[in-house]
Amino acid sequence: MGKLVREETGIEGLTVITPKVFIDQRGYFFESYNYNDFKEIGIDNVFVQDNQSKSSKGVIRGLHFQKEFPQSKLVRVIVGSVYDVAVDLRKGSPTFGKYFGVVLSAENKKQFFIPKGFAHGFVVLSDVAEFAYKCDDFYHPNDEGGLIWNDPDIGIKWPLAEVGGLDNLIFSSKDKLWPTLKELTTSEN
CATH number for the domain that contains residue 170: 2.60.120.10
Q: Of 45, 48, 43, which Cα lies nearest the Cα of 7?
A: 43
Q: Are 32 and 76 in contact (CB under 8 A)?
A: yes
Q: Are 33 and 105 in contact (CB under 8 A)?
A: no
Give the tens place of pLDDT for each residue, 13-52.
999 999 999 999 999 999 999 999 999 999 999 999 999 9
- Give the strands of the sheet with 60-66, arranged side by side: 99-105, 81-88, 118-124, 60-66, 144-146
Give the tens place of pLDDT for each residue, 94-104.
999 999 999 99
What is the rounded end-to-end Cα distance, in angstroms, of the chain?
A: 48
Catalytic residues: 64, 133
The one-character DSSP state at 179 is: P
Give the domain range for residue 93. 47-188
Give the tens place of pLDDT for each residue, 147-170.
999 999 999 999 999 999 999 999
109: in domain: yes
Give the tens place of pLDDT for each residue, 111-132.
999 999 999 999 999 999 999 9
Helix (H) / strand (E) element for 113: namely strand 111-114
Q: How many domains, in total, are found in the chain?
A: 1
62: in domain: yes
| pLDDT above 90: residue 188 | no
Whether pTM > 0.75 for this model: the answer is: yes
173: in domain: yes
